[in-house]
Amino acid sequence: QSQELSQVRIDYHAALQALVEDGTRMVCTGRMHTDRICHFESLCYSTEAEEFVFFHSNSSIMLPNLGSRRFQPALLDLSSVEDHNTQYFNFVELPAAALKFMPKPVFVPDVALIVNRFNPDNLMHVFHDDLLPIFYTMQQFPDLDLEARLFFMEGWGEGLHFELYRLLSNKQPLLREQLKTLGRLLCFTKSYVGLSKITTWYQYGFVQPQGPKANILVSGNEIRQFTKFMMEKLNVSLEGMPGEEYIIVFSRTINRLILNEAELLLALAQEFQMKTITVSIEDHTFSDIVRLISNASMLVSMHGAQLIMSLFLPRGATVVELFPYAINPEHYTPYKTLSILPGMDLQYIAWQNMEKENTVTFPDRPWDQGGIAHLDKAEQDRIIRSSEVPRHLCCRNPEWLFRVYQDTRINIASLIQTIRQTVKTKPGPKRQKWASGLYPGKVREARCQASVQGTSEAKLSVSWQIPWNLKYLKVREVKYEVWIQEQGENTYMPYILSHQNHTFSDNIKPFTNYLVWIRCIFNKNLLGPFADVLLCST
């Protein structure tokens, strides 16, 4: 690696002079440390101090210029996990003149994306916290192209899935430890620091019990653009795949086992009249798993990180997540939330083992594999008697670990019945066309005309034109919603109409001002924006 960087021919003296004269220049997006990504020129890193360095000169820029608020609590989150206090980024400041007394800087010529991975040994975390956010951070800044280089600063080794991180750019990603071999003072010519959180859908329960993020901003479309990229990079093609439909049981081989897996395979094959195959991370290459999953009709698996592979399922496929005894499926929903993202078009089914005699516990294992022998006897007894793990915070709740690392004998009849409640005929890709889900524009040229009959009765005729985009779309059903509000009142009368004009007479008073709000609705649930409010006087 070190050779790779030093081979690049940059004019060292010009670069050094620019650094001394111009110093570091930073411009960030985002208003808070939790949504900030910063662009730097000449950001440096001291491998001895293990700190980033901002050099001040007459030409430096630091935007936002937060003063000491930069430490409250940090300039930005280096990982995609929100506001985690082990993942903060900051720098120390020095005058550029101090460079005279410092080790000779080594310049990094590649455009750099500097981030923390959150948990690189867990496949779910790899995709949700790192790969998707890195991919879309790179999409956000055009000079983060395939020639950019990733720098992982969290301090871990490569981890179990480094091959996946390598797919995101043509250059080998570098780890914090490796920077030492490059020099004592590294200066990144051009870099971006931080990760977009726009694609993440789950929070792990650091401040409140885990669950879907409050404001999910990603849809199945963006997920699939990402998986398409990954499949191309993995050289996975579906050519030569069997045409017949099949079910995958994604099994774990180390813990949280399905004890009657053979029986499960047979039952699924028989019930759905499909070939049923098992895969596991231990026994298959990543490319093989992706190839198989991307063409499957149904994916059945115990709750666990391997279920993140449902990212690669085709539209219309079914995800069946199995939960051990005392683990309430509603409380652990990273894979459910993924499956039901708008446009993901997966059917999600949860099944839980409700029978104590079908679970196998491991009280004597180490605590991080669910052992509880280290707890006092009363607490052990309470846990063993409990039939549901109460909601809890991440990440070391012993009752949760005890229950989630149980092995399970699946009650086949109960599971098949649960699946059948959702999958009536055959699971798998629907041949139907999927709703395109485009929203209407505003209605146009809204007008109203009033007429008064006598002193107590009046009518309001309102008309409008279709939204401009409708004439280019095939829409199953077009409706209009009209709200009529007497000026100064808080309430309004709502109407759903099929035509582009209507005469209102109920509750319309003479010599009164009305505000009329109109919007278009496609296919019952695609609500467009309201047009500018119309003021109508009777």
- The residues that touch ligand UDP, with contacts defined as CB under 6 A, are 122-124, 252-255, 281, 304-306
For ligand UDP, the closer of residues 255 and 469 by Cβ is 255
For ligand UDP, the closer of residues 252 and 403 by Cβ is 252
- H helix intervals, 62-114: none
- Joined tokens for residue 237: 């093609």
For ligand UDP, the closer of residues 87 and 306 by Cβ is 306
- Strand-pairing partners, residue 416, are none
Distance CA 434, CA 154 (A): 41
Distance CA 83, CA 510 (A): 58
- For 221, residues 6+ apart whose C-beta sits below 8 A from its C-beta are 343
For ligand UDP, the closer of residues 278 and 306 by Cβ is 306
Work out how close the CB of 301 gets to ligand UDP at its nearest, in angstroms, rounded to a whole number. Answer: 9
Work out how close the CB of 384 gets to ligand UDP at its nearest, in angstroms, rounded to a whole number. Answer: 21
Work out how close the CB of 205 gets to ligand UDP at its nearest, in angstroms, rounded to a whole number. Answer: 13
The answer to whether residues 149 and 171 touch, using CB atoms and an 8 Å cutoff, is yes
Supply the DSSP string of 430-482, one letter for each residue: --SPPP--PPP---EEEEEEEEEETTTEEEEEEEEE--GGGGG---S-EEEEE
Distance CA 439, CA 526 (A): 6
The answer to whether residues 373 and 362 touch, using CB atoms and an 8 Å cutoff, is no
Work out how close the CB of 193 gets to ligand UDP at its nearest, in angstroms, rounded to a whole number. Answer: 27
- Joined tokens for residue 167: 């797919």
- Joined tokens for residue 525: 């649930």
Work out how close the CB of 119 gets to ligand UDP at its nearest, in angstroms, rounded to a whole number. Answer: 9
Work out how close the CB of 310 gets to ligand UDP at its nearest, in angstroms, rounded to a whole number. Answer: 13
The answer to whether residues 37 and 113 touch, using CB atoms and an 8 Å cutoff, is no
Work out how close the CB of 507 gets to ligand UDP at its nearest, in angstroms, rounded to a whole number. Answer: 58
For ligand UDP, the closer of residues 280 and 451 by Cβ is 280
For ligand UDP, the closer of residues 252 and 291 by Cβ is 252
For ligand UDP, the closer of residues 174 and 389 by Cβ is 389
The answer to whether residues 19 and 114 touch, using CB atoms and an 8 Å cutoff, is no
End-to-end CA distance of the chain: 79
For ligand UDP, the closer of residues 255 and 328 by Cβ is 255
- For 243, residues 6+ apart whose C-beta sits below 8 A from its C-beta are none
Reference 149, options 115, 188, 112; nearest CA is 112
Distance CA 508, CA 453 (A): 11
For ligand UDP, the closer of residues 90 and 255 by Cβ is 255
Distance CA 475, CA 438 (A): 9
For ligand UDP, the closer of residues 28 and 305 by Cβ is 305
For ligand UDP, the closer of residues 255 and 461 by Cβ is 255
Work out how close the CB of 232 gets to ligand UDP at its nearest, in angstroms, rounded to a whole number. Answer: 23
- Joined tokens for residue 344: 């993901």
Distance CA 448, CA 538 (A): 10
- Strand-pairing partners, residue 113, are 150, 192
Work out how close the CB of 164 gets to ligand UDP at its nearest, in angstroms, rounded to a whole number. Answer: 11
The answer to whether residues 147 and 111 touch, using CB atoms and an 8 Å cutoff, is yes
Work out how close the CB of 165 gets to ligand UDP at its nearest, in angstroms, rounded to a whole number. Answer: 14
Work out how close the CB of 275 gets to ligand UDP at its nearest, in angstroms, rounded to a whole number. Answer: 23
